Structure formats: C-alpha cells, structure tokens
A and B are shown apart, each in its own frame.
Chain A
Amino acid sequence: MKEELNNVIASAKKEINDVTSMHELMQLKSKYTGKKSILNSFMQKIGSLSKDERPAFGQTVNIAKIQITQLITAQEENIKELEYSKTLRSESIDLTMPGRKRAKGSLHPITKIWREIEDIFMSMGFEVAEGPDVEDEYHNFDALNTPQDHPARELSDTFYLDNDVLLRTQTSTVQIRTMENHPLPIKIISPGSCYRNENDASHSPMFHQVEALLVDKGVSFIDLRDILNIFVKKMFGEKIESRIRPHFFPFTEPSAEIDIVCVKCYGEGCNLCKGSGWLEMGGAGMVDPNVLEKLGIDSEKYTGYAFGLGMDRIAMLKYKIPDMRLLFENDLRFLKQFS
C-alpha cells in the first residue's frame, strides 16, 4: 500500500507541475486532497489494517497530503506569476502615441486682459462698477465738464441715437453715475465698451476702456503716480517704468497723459514706439473740482484722481498683436492662440 501511495504522490507531482491554469489546478486539488479524493480513499482503507499498523499508516497518508498541498500551493504561485506576465504582455502599448484630449476653448485676449485688470485693482480694494453703453449727453459730456461747443460732441466724433442720447465715448460716465448713487469714499474701476465714430487701421468704432476713480479725503497727485506705477508693473512686469506728462482733459486738473517704457525695445527706440522708447497708454489727472462740485461734493474736503486706459491697446502690447483688426475678426486661428 505504501508503494501505491508513493505512486499517487509521483503522479500528482507530475500532473500538478504540468497544469498552467488556475482552473485546472483547482480540479487537481479536489482530485488529490478533496473529500472524494484519492488520498481520502486511502484513509478509508485504514480499517483493513491491524491496530498496530494504523497510526503509522495514518501518519504516512497525512504526510502525503501535506506534500501534495505544498506542491499545489507552490504551483499556484507559479500560475499567478505566469498570468501576471501574460497581462503585462497583453497590455503593453506604444507610449509615444497621442493621449486623449478634450477640445480646449479660449477666452478672447481682450477678456483675458479685462480680467487681469479687474483682479489687479480688486486686490487693491477697488470695486468694479458698471453703467450703460447708451448714455445721455449729461453723463458723457456735461457732468464731465466738457463745454457745449467741444469738438468731441460733433456727429463726426460721436454716435447719436437722439439729440441728447449717444453711445458713451468713455467709461468716465460710470464714475459720474457711481458718485451720484453712492456715498464717499469711492474707489472703483469701470471697464467696458466705448464708441467713437471713426474706423480705420488704428481706430475701431467700438473699443474697450477701463477707467479708475478714487475720491476720498487726502487723495493727492502722489497717489495717482503710485497707482499708475503699481498697475503698469503688475501688468507688464517690473522692468516697465511709467511716466506722465502734461496734457488736457476737461474733467481733470491737472491732467496728464500716461506713457510706459516701450515693451518691445525697453526704451531703446524701435518701430513700435516710433523711436521714442515710450508708448502712450491713456489719460489721467486729478478730478476737476468742477466735476465734484456739480455732484454736490465739497471739493475742499474731498479730492480724487481718475485715469483711463485702453484695454485693446494693452492686449495688443502685452500679446504683441500687430494689427487691431485681428481683435474683432474672430478668426479661430487667432483666438485659439489664447487658450
């Protein structure tokens, strides 16, 4: 019988080592060690042995069982390893093939600049104010100290809907409306669309402008210089200096125009700055006491500064866009560059 048992172990060893799938291995497991297995049938034969022989035989069968179980466990590990390497082979890919992407859209460059300006000023405590595009003459001209016979009021310069209804030519209108409706101090920017009756290579009849206004006790020219410097550096980088030079606007006194160091040549002189090293950015000044007084604000107590910047121009300078018309053509080959 012992010989018989050895044969069983030998055949089990062979069979177990030959299987390559987990399913087959489990079948062998039940064949050799399960309830109705060969080894169990040996155990049943124990009754036919003498009492003295029984313990030794029982032990032999048990050892055989342990041996076979160990063989199965070992083979199980082999098969798992085999299956794992199979998986690796079957899932192997060409890592250089393109990845899956979603279509990516893009914000218009003007909107990108618009948002950047809002964020810069909001971080300094300014609020963003809005007003209508279709305005009356009062808010666009009268309240801003622009005389009746000022050339800007001409049809050739301004779009009119009625005699005294027009498309705003600047977002300074929002400053007036804000001061009419809110107590001081006021610290706002007003970005938005403006319109002028001109259409050529360097002028668009609709353009985008941001105006800033601070009216409070103790606001002075130095504050204006400071805010312009901060803004220019945040927008164009630390290298870009700004300067102001005397100019005339009806609603500011003293008035100034703002220049920044040329973003292309950094002041050396180039075709962008027409050799001057400086680029014009917009207008600025201390709010004219007349403007404040018209709004019932005591101009002895309160002072303020205001300035306006062209957002389209900022976008062109910042992104080095050579032609203004690109901004409104909406060519996707242009727009997608800003994704």
Chain B
Amino acid sequence: MKISYNWLKNYIDLKVSPEVLKDRLTFAGIEVEAVEELGKELKQIKIAQVVKCERHPNAEKLSLCQVNDGTETIQVICGATNCKNNIKVAFAGIGTQIQDFKIKKAKLRGELSFGMLCSEKELGISDNHDGIMILPDNAQVGSDLAAYLGIKDTSYDVEITPNRPDLLGMIGVARDLSALMKLPITLPDSKIVEINELIEDHLSLKNEVPQLCTRYIARMIKNVVIKESPEWLKKHLISVGLRPINNIVDVTNYVMMEFGHPLHAFDYSNIQGKKIIIRKAGQNEEFPALDETTYKLEVDDIVIADDKRAVALAGIIGGENSHITTQTKDIVIEAANFLYSSIRKTSGRLKISTDSSYRFERDITDEVAELASRRACDLILEIAGGELLKGKLDSFPSKKDLKIVSVRPSRVKKVLSIDIPSEKIKEYLTALGLIFIEGSKDDLKFKIPYYRKDLTREIDLIEEIIRLNGYNNVPTLTRSQNIMNKPVFYARRKVEDLLINYGFSEVINWNFGDPNDIDKLKINKIDERRDFAKLKNPLGESFSIMRSMLLPSLLKNALYNINHGQKNFRIFELKKVFTRKDEKLATEKLHLSGLLCGELDPVYWKNDSVQLDFYDVKGIIEDILNELKIENYKFQGSDEQFYQPGLGAAATVDGKIIASFGKMDPKIVADYDINLPVFAFDIDLDTIFTRDIFHDTIFTNIPKFPPVLRDISFVISKEFNYSDIVETIRKSGKNSISKIVLFDEFAGKNIKEGFHSLTFSLILSSDTKTLTDEYINNILKKVNKVLKNSYNAEMR
C-alpha cells in the first residue's frame, strides 16, 4: 500500500523530515519497502516572470523574452502564442533536465536563448500543450515550482501486516504515528447537511445475507455535477498511485485511502425498482463488471442487486450497468462490510484484485463504514454540489459491544523484563485509542476501540506496550562471556583428526618427566626446556619435573610397543609442556609431538612395501601447517641435536621456529633401547595459535581461461637446493606460472657425479586472456635462460 507524507500531514503535524519518517514507520512495525520522491523531475524548474516580451527580429512566430528568475534577468526565445509581458511562468534554465533532453544555450535565427519557458505537458503535469504554463500572480518569483504546486511529496510503499487492517488507510497510520511520536491527531469532522426529503421515499434496502454482509449503509445525494476533481484531490490520489477519474469516483477513492474503508457510488437512475438487495448470486449468474468483463458467478458470491439484476459484486468490483457517468445526476453512496473470507474466496476464484477487495479481504471493521459514508457525503456536497437526502438506510445485523481486555503490570514485567509503571502503560494504550476503564494495582482494564480487532488478549496489549516503548529501548544482556577461544578449540580438534587420518594413535602420558631425558636428547645447556618446573615431593626421580618436552615419553611408548611386537606405528601426543624460572606459577605451552616408525602404508598384496622417509614426515608437517592456514612458512636445517645430522629440519614463520621434524639420531634412539629408524616431529602449537590464522576463506574467482600444462627438464648440480630453483622459476615466469610441481628427480646413469636431473610440470594460466603458444614459448625460453645463467643448468 502507498501512503503519502503530505497527506499524512493533513491529520498530524509531522515534525520530522520524510527520511526520518521512513525510520519511524519501520520501527512502528510498518515496513517501508520503497520510497518515491514525487516532483523530483521538476526539481530545477523555477517560477520566473516575463519582464519583456517582444517579437523575434527574424522570426514571426517566435518571441524574444527577458525573464527574471529571482536572481537575474535572462534572455529566452519562446514559441508559444500565450507569452506576454508580466506573466509568471515555469522557467527551465541552462542544464535543466526536462524529460529526455537537457536545456542548452541555443541560437535561434541569430538570437541567443538561455533556457526555456515550459508547457504543462513538457513538465509532465498535464496533457495541456496549448502554450506555456501561466501561473497565478501570487506565485513567488524565484521559488520552486514543485513546492508551489504542492507536487513535492514523498510516497512510501509500505507492507501492512495481516493483523493490522486498521492501518489500511492514512488515518490508521496517522493514529499509530501519533501514539508513537506523541503528537496530536486531527480527524476530519463531519457536517452532514441534509435536506428534508427522506431517503426512504426513494430507496429501500434488504439484506438477505446478514452472516455475509455485516454492515450496509446507503446514503443518497441528488443533483450532483459530475466533473473533474479539484487539484488538491487529484494530487493526493496521484501521490498514492491512484488515477483521478471524476469527482464522485475520486471522492470514494479518497475516503477509502483516508479511512481504509472502500466505498462505492451507484447512478441512482440505473437502480431498478428503487431497491437495493444484498443477496447470494445465482448459480452461473452473469455479471458485467466495470472492467468490461462479464463474470460467471456462483451461489457463494455476494452481490448487490436491484429489483432485476446485480449492480455490484460485493466488495470487489462495481457493475457496468450502474456506474457513475458524465450524465449521472442522482447517486447512492454505499459504505458496507462483508465477511472477509467470502470476499477472499470470490476474488481469488475470479482472479479480480482491486483496492477494494484488498481491504475487505483483511477483515476491516463494520463501524468505520459510517465514518466513511459521512465523510464521502460531506466531500461530494463540497465539490460536486447536490443535496443529501435525510437519513440513511443502514443494515447492521450483529452489532457488538466493545471488548474489554485486562493487563497486569506484573505480567508486563515478566514478559518484557523491564519495569513499565502503570501510568506509562495507560499512557501508551490510551494514545492508541484504547479507553482505560478501571484498574486495581495489578489489573488495568481497557476498552478496545472497534478499529483494533487484533487486540483480544493481555499479550496483545503487552506487544503494543513494548512497541510504543521501543523494541530497542530494552537493554541487552550479555549471556555469553566469550570465555572460550572457539577458533583454537576447533583448530586443535582439526589437527588431531588430521593425524588420526594419517594413521596416528593418540597417547596420553603423565605430565611428570625425568630431567635425565633432556640430557639424553642432547638439549642445549642454555635451552629454556632446562628451566624445569620441579616438584618438591615427586613420586620419584623419573617423575620429578613437569615435562618440558613430549618426545621422551613418546620414545618410551615406542619402546613399550616395539617390545610388544609392533614395528610399524605412528603415535602422537598433544599436551601442555611446562617450564619454570622466575615466574610464580609455570609457563605452560601446548605442544604436539609425534613418532613414526616402519612402513609408509599397511602391507598390501598389490604393492611392495615402502619404508617411511624424511619426506613423509615433511608432508605431514606441511599438511598440518596448511590445515592451520599458516602462510609463508619456510624450512631450514634444525638445530636440535636429537635429529640425525642432515636429516632434521625446522619450519619457520617470520624467522620464528614453529616446528622441527626429521629422522631421529640412531645413537640417541639406541639410548632408549630402540634399534629401528624413528622419525619424529614437535610442533609449538601455542605459538601457532597466537598467530592470526583463523580468518575465513574468501572466495577467489574461478579462472575463466583454461590453464596450460608444460614440462621442463634439466640437469643441475646438487649444490643448488630445490626451493631456490622453484623460486627462480616462479620469478622468471612473469606471474603466468600458477603452479610448479616437481614430478621427477633422477641421478646416476648418464648423469655426472654430483648432478641430478629434475623434471617440473609448470601450470601456466592467466585471469585476463587465453595464453597463446607464442606467449607460452616466450615464458619457457625466459625460464630456460634464467636457469642456465643462474645455475648453469643444462636443459634436456
């Protein structure tokens, strides 16, 4: 439904801008789906005065005018015959956008023109193109045309929720805003000037379906003059998206938009037998409607009929046979209400949706019919003349008393958990039109106005109370203290699961340790892992400290299992390690250590068994670091003495060591009575978890152009290491090489001592183009050249 800012101002003195009103509506529960600024196409049009108008020296049909726009006098050439001295006109200066064109400086028959005097058609105000628009003398020179004409308005397309039929008109919205914004509301007062002639002498009413037609009021006006509506009325209708038709139809639409209650006007001369009968339609009764379609009705449809035929399909659409025409003189104004489910059924079956059916389907109220009827009669008398007959025909078969609903302030507190005093509750609810009747301390009784059918229970009133108090004025409580570090919590589980999938079994050892283990692993004399957290009363020497490393325990687990016949195993432990020097308590850091021994894969009848090697451990470390989204890690030789010389590596990030891994020194392992090759790793999870690694994946575009795969192979001295070579290839590839995969390494036959052959797969791709052979060959040439120059590599 559309509502208009200017129209609302008829009832309530909105002290806020259209932008602010949009927010107010939204927080009142009236969701604004779209906002339209009306008259913005006239934004640059000013009211100006023609100070001098003479004939163009070189053109008979043109006049050369001097126009004052309030700030200066401008020369404009005009072709309209009604252009005269001293008239007030709509002036568009240089740069103004009118419909599809922009006003520019122009030269017409040797004279310059700096703007345009506009016709109503050019301005989109009407279809009038007989000369330029001439404004009344009181129009202020230099002011905004749109504002002067009252076209400047803001229209809101709002969603009215099904529980609030009272908001289907401007007055309902204004009433809600008045309660929310604490502003007084002014409703149109009713005069109802009647003549002495009685309506009963001209018309009778029979409601045959009191269950389906819950109210029917007919009033009659004689001798109206059908014509175009006045400007104010047309403007209001246009502002809410309705098309002006004639003064009578426009009034019924206007009142519908005002009260949210649809009306219908009949041409009295077409009502046969002076009778209005509300009845069920006959099966297959044909009804020619206003929309030039003849509908076939069913017995459940309600029609408004005269003696002979249906003149309207109740609540949905009027009849072709009885509508207002230019010849109409005497009219009958219908203000009625029908059972919403019946209207919904009929309009749904016949697929007719009108502003009228939209409202009747939403269960509007019987009582408003009378207000709307009176208002319509007042307006018709005002703008179409005529005489209102005395009295009305009114069928109101099931008039009900106003409902009374109680609310307990204690219950309000219980539901909302905020204190709203009784006085405040009364204030809020009476602002909405509820009438306070009586109340003890914890029981306030309110009479519910007829237009708020949705308020039937205490909880409905509580909803209104909190709505007026403001949903967002309820304090927020923090129920969650964010105590746990969820990313770390899940990262830890992720690493554990990854290792499980690699075939590792988790072990849990006592956190007590033996200081001698640190010597056995040849840990440096000044290493912090020698700052033992010593127990005063240990279970024994071998349990006398809190472990500063996990590996010794793992070696003992390994020996236990080897002694029990296991030669292929992988174990890990993820636990705190402890050191203590000057600190009061201890430094506790989370570490992850693992041992691997034996074959790469379980025995399988199709494959020869392969023993684990350094690169298997390295792959696991790389997988863990990748899983934890550590970027830019590098590898270097490890300083740990417990790895076999040349087979221990460290992973670093920003120069900080985060992990070590490799093959354990056979001598040290032998010290633990193990005579098998053992691989180990130790990861400082604590340091990793303090890094900012827990960001979400951000989508990157999937390449539009297919990648190209090329292999290169060369013989190179073993003194150069792989990571440098890869870096060289990457750099020489000018961003076109997206992936470099080593897929073969070979030494021996036909290759010089100290050299080996490396074969790489290069994946070349581009985000912007398909790579041509020529382009790729150039890249490869460059790569070859750089490899030759940097490493004396021999391409194969």
Contact = CB atoms under 8 A, between A and B. Distances in A.
Interface stretch (B72-80, B145-153, B207-215, B565-573): B565-573
Interface string A300-328: 00000000000000000000000000011
Nearest to B602: A103
Interface in A108-162: 108, 110-111, 115, 125, 127-130, 132-136, 155-156, 159-162
Contacts of B602: 101-103
Contact of A134 (B561, B566, B578): B578
A239 interface: no
A140 to B, nearest CB: 11
Contacts of B586: 132-134, 161
Nearest to A111: B506
Contacts of A199: 539
Given A102-B501, A132-B585, A155-B536, A328 B509 contact: yes
Contacts of A134: 533, 546, 578, 580, 585-586, 588
Q: Which of A136, A156, A178, A335 has the most CB of B within 10 A?
A: A335
Contacts of B539: 197, 199, 205
Interface string B497-518: 0011111111111111000000
B276 to A, nearest CB: 64
B570 A105 contact: yes
Dominant secondary structure at the B interface: loop
A165 B478 CA distance: 35
Contact of B564 (A167, A182, A185, A333): A333
Given A134-B533, A159-B538, A206-B511, A331 B561 contact: yes
A206 B604 contact: no
Contacts of B699: none
Interface residues of A, number: 56
Contacts of A97: 605
Given A106-B505, A134-B586, A183-B481, A331 B560 contact: yes
A331 B562 CA distance: 10
A89 interface: no
B349 interface: no
Given A133-B511, A197-B537, A205-B512, A107 B588 contact: no
A105 B499 contact: yes
Q: Which of A136, A330, A333 has the most CB of B within 10 A?
A: A330
Q: Which of A132, A327, A336 has the most CB of B within 10 A?
A: A132
Given A127-B480, A178-B483, A205-B539, A105 B511 contact: no
A188 B578 CA distance: 25
A333 B557 CA distance: 12
Contacts of B500: 104-107, 339
A199 B508 CA distance: 17
Contacts of B501: 102, 104-105
Contacts of B584: 136, 165
Nearest to B481: A182
B506 A336 contact: no
A238 interface: no
Interface string B389-423: 00000000000000000000000000000000000
A301 B252 CA distance: 62
B484 interface: yes
A95 interface: no
A332 interface: yes
A183 B479 CA distance: 10
Contact of B506 (A108, A135, A155): A108
Contacts of A132: 585-586, 588
A328 B580 contact: no
Given A134-B588, A165-B585, A102 B503 contact: yes
A155 B539 CA distance: 12
A270 to B, nearest CB: 28
Contact of A160 (B489, B535, B546): B535
B194 interface: no
B224 to A, nearest CB: 70
A159 B506 CA distance: 26
A65 B557 CA distance: 82
Given A105-B502, A134-B546, A332-B505, A193 B479 contact: no
A129 B483 contact: yes
B695 interface: no
B164 interface: no
Q: Which of B479, B484, B566, B568 has the most CB of A within 10 A?
A: B484
Given A105-B500, A155-B536, A115 B570 contact: no
Interface size class of B (residues with CB under 8 A): 35 or more
A335 B510 contact: no
Nearest to A188: B483
B606 A336 contact: no
A142 to B, nearest CB: 15
Contacts of B478: 183
Interface in B520-545: 533-539, 543
A108 B503 contact: no
Interface in A244-275: none
Q: Which of B493, B537, B564 has the most CB of A within 10 A?
A: B537
B534 A330 contact: no
Given A129-B484, A134-B585, A161 B536 contact: yes
A330 B571 contact: yes
B535 A161 contact: yes
B102 to A, nearest CB: 62
Given A111-B496, A329-B560, A335 B511 contact: no
A253 to B, nearest CB: 25
B74 to A, nearest CB: 69
Nearest to B478: A183
A187 B584 CA distance: 29
Contacts of A335: 505-507, 571
B566 A206 contact: no
A323 B506 CA distance: 19
Interface in A192-207: 193, 195, 197, 199, 204-206
B503 A104 contact: yes
Given A134-B546, A165-B584, A183-B478, A160 B561 contact: no
Contacts of B533: 134, 161
B601 interface: yes
Contacts of A105: 499-506, 570
B496 A103 contact: no
A100 interface: yes
A104 B506 CA distance: 11
A165 B586 CA distance: 9
A240 interface: no
Interface string B688-707: 00000000000000000000
B576 interface: yes
Interface in B444-484: 478-484
B501 to A, nearest CB: 7
A213 to B, nearest CB: 11
A102 B500 CA distance: 11
Interface string B649-669: 000000000000000000000
Contacts of A160: 535-537
Nearest to B488: A130
Interface in A214-251: none
Contacts of A329: 560
A186 interface: yes
Given A107-B496, A161-B586, A100 B489 contact: no
A88 B702 CA distance: 39
25 contacts: A102-B503, A103-B502, A103-B568, A103-B570, A104-B503, A105-B506, A107-B506, A108-B506, A108-B507, A127-B481, A128-B489, A130-B484, A133-B576, A136-B584, A136-B585, A160-B536, A162-B536, A167-B546, A188-B483, A193-B576, A197-B539, A205-B543, A328-B508, A328-B509, A335-B507
Given A159-B536, A161-B536, A330-B560, 7 more contacts: A100-B604, A106-B506, A133-B546, A135-B585, A162-B536, A330-B571, A339-B500
Closest 5 pairs (CB-CB, A-B)? A103-B503, A134-B586, A330-B507, A105-B500, A105-B504
